[in-house]
Structure formats: C-alpha cells, structure tokens
Structure 1
Amino acid sequence: MEGMALNQLFGNAYFGRKVLVTGHTGFKGSWLCLWLTSLGAHVTGLALAPNTEPAHWSLLGLDEVHDLRVDLRDGQAMRQALQEVQPELVFHLAAQPLVRRSYRESLLTFDTNVLGLVHLLEAIRETPSVHAVVNATTDKVYAEQVIKNGYPEDHPLGGHDPYSTSKACAELVSDCYRKSFFFDGGPRTATARAGNVIGGGDWSEDRLVPDLVRAASTGSILQLRNPAAIRPWQHVLEPLSGYLRLGQALLAGEPVEGAWNFGPASDATLPVHALVSQIQAQWPGLRSEYLPGPHPHEAGVLQLNCAKAARELAWRPVWSAEDTIRHTIDWYRAYYASSRLLSSEDLQDYVAAAHNAGLEWAA
C-alpha cells in the first residue's frame, strides 16, 4: 500500500474529483487534505488562517491544495468561493471547536457553528456542481445520559455548553436543508459524529494531548481539570476514514443520508487519568496533578455506538488505544527532536493496518 496505490482506496471515488474542505487549516482538516491529495483529489481548502504556532497545516506544505481564506460568517464571500471552485463534494469541518472557549465567546461560537453552516448551505444551493455534503459535528451533540453501549444515532440531541448546543443546532440545520431544499436532485447530505480525536500536529488550546505534549516538552506539570471524565479517544485518521467512506457512499447514490457515528475501538474509551498514564509510559518524565474546581460543565461520560456504520458502511475502527497513543507520541517526539513530520508515514501505516484488517475501503 505505497505510493500511487493510495489512489485506489475508497473504490477510486476521489481520484480526479473536485473536493472542498472547510476548516482545512485546523488539525483535523489538515490531515483530511493530506489524505485527499494522496487519493488524487483536486482539493480546495476554505478557512481562516491557522490559529496556532506551530500549525500542522503550515508544516505539511501542501502546495497542491488551493488555499482560500474565507470567513464562514461572510455569506457573500462563501457564495463567491463556491462559484469559483465548483466542487463536487464538500467536507465541512470549519468550526469554533473548543468547549471552554464557547463559554467565553458564546456569540462567536453560535455565529460560526450555526449561521456559518447556513451560509455554506445557502452557497451550496446556488452551486449545482455539488453532489454531496458531509458535515462533521461531534459526539457532544447528544443529550447527556449514561447509556451502556454508547449513544446511537437516534438518541435525542441536546447540549449543555454553547459548543455542544451549537453543534446540536448544526445537526438540525443540516437535516432541515436536506428535507427542505436538497430532496429532489440536490446534493445528498450526511452528518458525521466523532469522538475526541488525537494525533500528531494538534497544538490547540484546552485539549488534553496538546496540553500534555506542551508539559512534556517543557518539563512542566500538567494540571488536569477532570481526570475521571470518560471519553472515546481515537486517532484523527479513524473518523477521517469514516468521513471518506461516507462521502464515497453519498457520491455512489447509496441510501446513507442522515447521521453517522465514527468512534474508536472499545478499549479506547478511557477516563482522562488512564489516557495520561498510558502517555506517561510512552513519554517518561511527564508529570500531572489534579486542578481543583470549580470548572465549566463538561459531560462526565461520552461513548458512541457505531453499530450502524459497521452494518451499513462496512466501517470500523482500525487502531487500538495502544496503537493510537504510540503513533501520536512518536509523532510529537520526532517533531520536537528533529522537526521531522511523521504524518505521511502514519497515513501509510493506518492504511496498511486497515488493509490487513480486511476493511473494504482499503481493499
């Protein structure tokens, strides 16, 4: 599975296809652009400038990606961009993605995550070239309730903090446009709900692994807000494989419109303190301590039920918690030791593991 063989993944659905990725300068968007260019897609990115230094997008140097700097909140600029690009498929990842920032900047969060999506969908309505839309939301769209096997897609939507609520609203907006405007020959649409993604190249504020990496690289002590919180930790390539499989199915006319969960392997739904312990085993010298509250509300338990994706998309996670943590920490240690990027190597390793596991998209 090396070199040009990557072009054949996902049934060759992306080779030569015009794809728009919103939020391409962010952590998840930059990895998606790396994968799409490896698939032979003609990729345009639409986003604001990276908001961290360093930034994975900048380090990748993907000069083949058409890089547009457009604010989701500017409806006219959005329409002009889509008219210029004429994409066939849109992956919508642009967002204000941070829970604690959403408490500080609630208006910005709703403006970006809800009205920004409306601007995008209105622009798509005026762009007949668009055949499919994948809107990436979050596992936090569900009304909080402890469920033994995790939230299924038909669990009620909800939200406590402004970020979670804005993303639940984004789910409703997507469903509204699908039913009201895209039902008769318009673009086929789906939403994708993923867990807490980790992996190399994330330097965002208030995210556990970037905070751990900063502490380890400087020899400082990381203060943990909620060490007992349980989250579905997954390598960034896991949900991206789900997004790409979903995009493939939409383009092929499969009956896959609606909402989809893409979560990690069962052994990767862990409390924060367990993840920290496993990272400490990979990066000796990391120190942490509990930071007493009060802190803004965050859900105590988040877990996704991905049976629908396994049954109807033949999708399942590839890497165990150990694999995910090892690749993540190896990436950061290589970067801090020698400025070496392991992103392409991680992609090759992930695809090879999926192929060996017999996943159809990697056949």
Structure 2
Amino acid sequence: MTWPRLGAALLAAAALLPACAPPLSPAPEAPHACPCLRLIGEATLDKGWLYQGTTVGGLSGIDYDAARDRYILLSDDRSSVDDARFYTARIRYTANALTLPEFTGVTALRSATGQPYAPRRRAVDGVDVPDPEAVRWLPGGDAFLWTSEGDFARGFGPALRATRAADGALLRDVALPPSFHPFGTTGPRDNDALEGLALMPDGRTAWLAMEGPWRQDGPRATPASGGAPVRITAIDLETGRALRQVAYPPDPVPHPSPLPGGYTTNGVSEILADGPGHLLVLERSYTLGVGNSIRLYRVALASGSDTLGLPALAPGNHVPLQKTLVADFARLGLKHIDNIEGMTWGPLLPGGKRVLVFVSDDNFNPAQVTQFIAAEYVEP
C-alpha cells in the first residue's frame, strides 16, 4: 500500500507528524510472544537522496543474492517520479552495527514492449502502470520475481512477473488464478492486493500474500477488530497453478486515531520463507495522527486448512493459520519506526546466527524516511 493514494488532505495531516518521532509505545502484547529479534542497527538515507539521476524512495521490496553478495531493492514508484525501477546495493553489518547501503546500480523495469513502463499520464494502451511491491531473486541470480498490486483503474489486476536483472527486460508474466482479479464484489481491493512474496527453498514454489482481505471475505482491520482473514496462496511458478491457500488472521490496528474519523489500517506488508514449512509475516499498521506500528510473526503453513476451494471465508468454514509473535518493533529499541515494507535474510553473523534486513517505503513523502534495519533472528 502507498500512503499518497489516501489523498491530499490525509497527506497534509500525516505530514504534521515529525519524521523522526520516537517509536510508538508497544501495543498490548500478543499471545505466545518470544524475544526473537535483537536489534543490530538502523540507518536512514538523506531525504531526496539521488542515485544516478533518480530519486531513491518508495523502497517496498528487498532480497539478498548470496552468490554475488548483493541486494535488490524494488521501488514502488509508478513511473511518476522516475521510471519504475530497481536498485542493487551492498549492505554491511557486524554483530552490533549497520552501515548505510552502498548503491551499485539502478535499472528501469521494462514491459513486454521492451520499453520502460509509462506513467499514468502517458499510459500505453494494453500496458499497465504497475505498482511494484515485493521482489525475490530466482535461483542463479540472473533474474528475479516481482509483484504488482495492479492498475485497477485501467482494468489490470495484480501481477507476478519474472524480469532479467541485467537490463530489466520482462521475461514472462506468471499467469495467476482468475480469483486474483477483481470482479464486481469479489477479489482483492484496489491498493490492498499483492503485497508479499516468498520463494520457497525448492525455487519452484512461490507464496503470494494479499495485503488485506478479499472483498467477499469481509472487512479490513480496524482498531476494534482484525477484520477478515488475508489469503496467502502457493503458486507453481512453471504453470501458474495455485497449489494451496491459507488464511492469515491480521491483528486489530494497535492504535486508534486521535483525530475524528482519522484513517487507520493494518495488513500484511511482506512474507519470507523460513525453511520449507514456515513463513515470516510482517504486519504493518498506520494510524493518522500516530504513525506506523510493525509486528513480525511466524506461521507454520501446516497449521491452517486449505482455503482454495472456498469462494468466501467465513467463521467455521476454515482453520486459520496459528501465528507466533517474533517481535513488536516498538520493543526493539529503534529511534524511529517508519513504513516497513521489505524483508530479507542477510548474510550470517560469525557463529552462524541468522540476520533479517528490513527497509521502509517513504512514499516519496517529505514527512517520512527510507530506513534500513538489521536484526539478529533468535530461533523460536
């Protein structure tokens, strides 16, 4: 999700929040919590920082290529500021410190026409204006998968694409099931669609997470309720066939808005494979007049029933995933918590300890920042 689409009035109110405000006080602790993240460090890019003539911002996806020791960073710029694009970078950390990323390249994403995607004001017939959100390297590191939330206003639903890293050329669109596309009162909501992507260790199966519930499944999360479950679907990358689907129950929005009728939201902003049977799920909430709240959960995929055959989710017709809290970011000791949307495994620490690297999407909003976080993952 991209906050600027909330409208100018909401943006103006959000801009009143200090960009470097202290972290929110933790929301009430979730059940089965464990202290499973230890903060290594955080680093923030200067506002409006330029790299090779492009404004670095909107970083919604991140993934690490261990063979070539490089990260990919996907911007959700819909070719409004610069061409839709991705960056490569080196990110270094020790057991107790994180340094600013060293950017090493920027490449425009290209459509099936071979050209960079055009902005909405110059949209090309038959070509969507994508909303890039999540990214994962494919085995070998020569190509990567990425998701788009869609271009609903022009009739394009969510998309899963494979792109060549060397030049940004589109290799193929992975055909998604018809249920992924909006039809009247069913399917995903605009700007609430394909937000998370996890590539399983076999390299052949991808799990795709919606940000919020499908319309027929019920309402979005509010401060009073977690709302309807969010569908997470396993896709065979060769055929595009849906293999299995599970229902993830989001939290209620942790903080109500202090403003009358103030906007609030909570949903899934990223997922990441943790071995063949588990996913890490990043929940990101936003409350107008308060800011962002971030929680990380771990789920066992076998704990939820298969919902593929269910046209609509309702209490009693499925078993939702059981989730374990890994960390509430308000308890990590961060100086600031921004709109965290990207998550990846980084290189191991000495002794084999695993590390998670996170990045925030600043929405090209001067009241927000591009934030990198590294944290040691303590096995639950």
Q: Same fold (TM over 0.5)?
A: no
Greater fraction of residues in helix: 1
TM-score, length-scaled by structure 2: 0.34
Greater fraction of residues in strand: 2
TM-score, length-scaled by structure 1: 0.35
Q: Quick one: higher RCO (CA 8 Å, sep 6+), 1 or 2?
A: 2
